[in-house]
A and B are shown apart, each in its own frame.
Chain A
Amino acid sequence: ETGVTQSPTHLIKTRGQQVTLRCSSQSGHNTVSWYQQALGQGPQFIFQYYREEENGRGNFPPRFSGLQFPNYSSELNVNALELDDSALYLCASSLDPVGPGLNIQYFGAGTRLSVL
């Protein structure tokens, strides 16, 4: 069983550019969540995709968008990059929960984005 993989591991962009980050979910998982983690802070929820539909969104502007594909892999797109977008972007996958409290999220190692 493969874990959650993210690509690329590191990325450098300039202000105003666009970026796409990719995530392959753990085998058998149909839900993907994305988080942004600034240095020294806990991860902040961006949005979640369940069976290719957005299933909730955090307090992030529309220039943060996502996709989930039929194989449940996912992309995070960020347009018009700003300096404050520099962070570690984490993807987490989870099973469609059978019961309450069972939606354990399995995280990838993240993509480190630097915006200059």
Chain B
Amino acid sequence: DAKTTQPNSMESNEEEPVHLPCNHSTISGTDYIHWYRQLPSQGPEYVIHGLTSNVNNRMASLAIAEDRKSSTLILHRATLRDAAVYYCIPHKASGTYKYIFGTGTRLKVLA
């Protein structure tokens, strides 16, 4: 199972973009990269996933390095509601489909 490295915490001002990095240097060629976030007192919430190409959805963008050893989750305009712990998770395309969570990045958004 691929291991991930994320900053323990980050801060951002409200309305500004946030770039959350993740290193996953041991990722295998068929592992997707999933991002989840966990708001206070809630279960994790799906944000976005990708394999090789950059991806966009209504919540965020995902930029994946060409060698796939790292990725960056981009929140284009942080809001107070985006304050959460963000997890990047290399995820196998087949098998048990379990998620292996690290300790994630705690994002603090300043008003």
Decide yes or no whether A55 CB sits under 8 A from chain B. yes
Interface string of B64-107 (1 = CB under 8 A from A): 00000000000000000000000100010111111111111000
Closest residue on chain B to residue A100 by CB atoms: B93
Collect the chain A residues with CB atoms within 8 Å of residue B43's CB.
Answer: 4, 90, 92, 107-110
Number of B positions contacting A (CB below 8 A): 25
Binding site for B on A (CB under 8 A): 4, 31, 33, 35, 40-45, 48, 55-56, 58, 90, 92, 94, 97, 100-101, 103-110
A100 touches B87 (CB 8 A): no
How many pairs, one residue from A and one from B, have CB atoms within 8 Å of each other in the complex? 67
Binding site for A on B (CB under 8 A): 30, 32, 34, 41-46, 49, 51, 87, 91, 93-104
A103 touches B103 (CB 8 A): no
A101 touches B91 (CB 8 A): yes
A41 touches B98 (CB 8 A): no
Collect the chain A residues with CB atoms within 8 Å of residue B91's CB.
Answer: 101, 103
Collect the chain A residues with CB atoms within 8 Å of residue B102's CB.
Answer: 42
Closest residue on chain A to residue B106 by CB atoms: A40
**Contacts known (A101-B32, A101-B49); A109 close to B41, Cβ less than 8 A:** yes
Docked pose: A104 CA to B87 CA in angstroms: 14
Collect the chain B residues with CB atoms within 8 Å of residue A104's CB.
Answer: 34, 46, 49
Collect the chain A residues with CB atoms within 8 Å of residue B98's CB.
Answer: 33, 45, 48, 56, 58
Docked pose: A56 CA to B96 CA in angstroms: 5
B97 touches A97 (CB 8 A): yes
Collect the chain B residues with CB atoms within 8 Å of residue A55's CB.
Answer: 96-97
Collect the chain A residues with CB atoms within 8 Å of residue B94's CB.
Answer: 100
Docked pose: A109 CA to B100 CA in angstroms: 18
**Contacts known (A100-B32, A101-B51); A43 close to B96, Cβ less than 8 A:** no
A-B contacts, 12 of them at CB < 8 A, read: A4-B43, A31-B97, A43-B101, A44-B101, A48-B98, A55-B96, A94-B97, A97-B97, A100-B93, A107-B42, A107-B44, A110-B43
